[in-house]
Amino acid sequence: RDFGPLLKFKKPVLSPRKRRLAAALTIEDLRAIAKRRTPKPAFDYTDGAAEEELSLARARQAFQDVTFHPRILRDVSKVDTSRVVLGAPSALPFGIAPTGFTRMMQTEGEYAGASAAGAAGIPFALSTMGTASIEDVRAANPAGRNWFQLYMWKDRDRSMALVERAAAAGFEALVVTVDVPVAGARLRDARNGMTIPPTLTPRTVLNAIPRPAWWINFLTTEPLAFASLDRWSGTVAELLDTMFDPTVDYEDLAWIKEQWPGKLVVKGVQSVEDASRLAEMGVDAIVLSNHGGRQLDRAPIPFHLLPEVAREVKGSTEIHLDTGIMSGADIVSAIALGADFTLIGRAYLYGLMAGGRPGVDRAIEILSTQIERTMRLLGVSSLDQLEPGHVTQLQ
């Protein structure tokens, strides 16, 4: 028999992981896969926010409340999604936000994030609470753009030792996070009895049965630990309260600015007044952010703050924005209303939990495709053509 015609229609064979990831069309799809594959305490640590989780829910809703206003009859055969951010190009108008304890979500952790960012031509930010060292991240993303996120600890010498290592490893920007004077109340972590490092209890063992891949990775790769801290055992909240310094103020920031030779970014800005003050200080960028809803609940929504902040400081400092970004349309909306750049936290972590490095690649690809398509449908061929008139938002 001649099977030729049948074979011609045979689909290329994909590995189960590739098939799973290819079937995800949205970040929400990646989230659903992530939830199935990750033990509950680790998934909830990532997916959850503080208190009643209103800051996060409202930030996501704000993006969904957007109406776009397209222009017609424009040549959109080619679209340019690149942006100059902190003086250098990024292939897409977003970078990877700093996230702590990333290897707990999936053991490739920061290595997957940094190498995927490098391959996509976008910046990667490593957290002070990261689970890969500054030097290892550099090795994972040797030719790409790495930023280091700093928490000022009570022990200043220790903080500044990290800053020096970041400078020595060629990290180009220091992202100082200022919205954690104390830890937010992450109730899911408390209810799950989340500890660092995760401990094996009868409950965790039971939870492992349907998630063998996570556990095999966890038990067969390098032990999970904070790369920039000595060994720690205790709850997340205890750790944060021991380390973070509630006295940090504008003078400390001015001091850091003097010490750091590269670009300085301040993350966690939540008012027009602070945005203006930081612009006057001469910081290179501010990040409008409520920390993905993980700190103050009922916080201002960065996307709602954006138009007024843009009116006040656009051009004197770069405006970056995060919290709640789940699609390329969210990013396009933020750029239209005056953001120079955006950061994604959970969107990449859902990809990581869904499938390691290829999962992060898929998350970036989904967002990139959505950005391109939204731009075309809006009638713009470059990000610079986006303007406030393209977007109206309900408040």
Known catalytic membership, residue 69: no
How is residue 343 written in tokens? Answer: 């950061």
Q: Of the listed 69, 291, 320, 390, which one is catalytic?
A: 291
Residues 42-81, mask of contacts with ligand FMN (x by CB under 6 A): ---xx-----------------------------------
C-beta of 330 vs 380, nearer to ligand FMN: 330
- Indicate the residue whose CB is closest to ligand FMN: 345
d(C-alpha 362, C-alpha 155), whole Å:
39
Least Å from the CB of residue 101 to ligand FMN: 7
Among 344, 363, 367, 383, binds ligand FMN (CB under 6 A): 344
Please identify, using beta-carbon distances, which residue of 20 and 31 lies nearer to ligand FMN.
31
**How far apart are alpha carbons 124 and 356 in whole angstroms?**
16
Per-position x/- string for 160-189, each x denoting binding to ligand FMN as judged by CB under 6 A, each - no binding: -----------------x------------
Among 39, 93, 95, 100, which residue sits at the site for ligand FMN (rule: CB under 6 A)?
Answer: 100
* 228 is an interface residue for ligand FMN by CB under 6 A: no
**Which of 278, 380 has the CB closer to ligand FMN?**
278
- Tell whether residue 325 is a contact of ligand FMN (CB under 6 A): yes
Residue 138 or 294: the one with the smaller Cβ distance to ligand FMN is: 294
Does residue 149 bind ligand FMN (CB under 6 A)?
A: yes
Does the footprint of ligand FMN cover residue 267 (CB under 6 A)? yes
Residue 300 engages ligand FMN in binding (rule: CB under 6 A): no
In the list 20, 188, 263, 346, the residue contacting ligand FMN (rule: CB under 6 A) is 346
d(CA 209, CA 206): 6
Residues that bind ligand FMN (CB under 6 A): 45-46, 97-100, 127, 129, 149, 177, 267, 289, 291-292, 294, 322-325, 344-347
Active site residues: 291
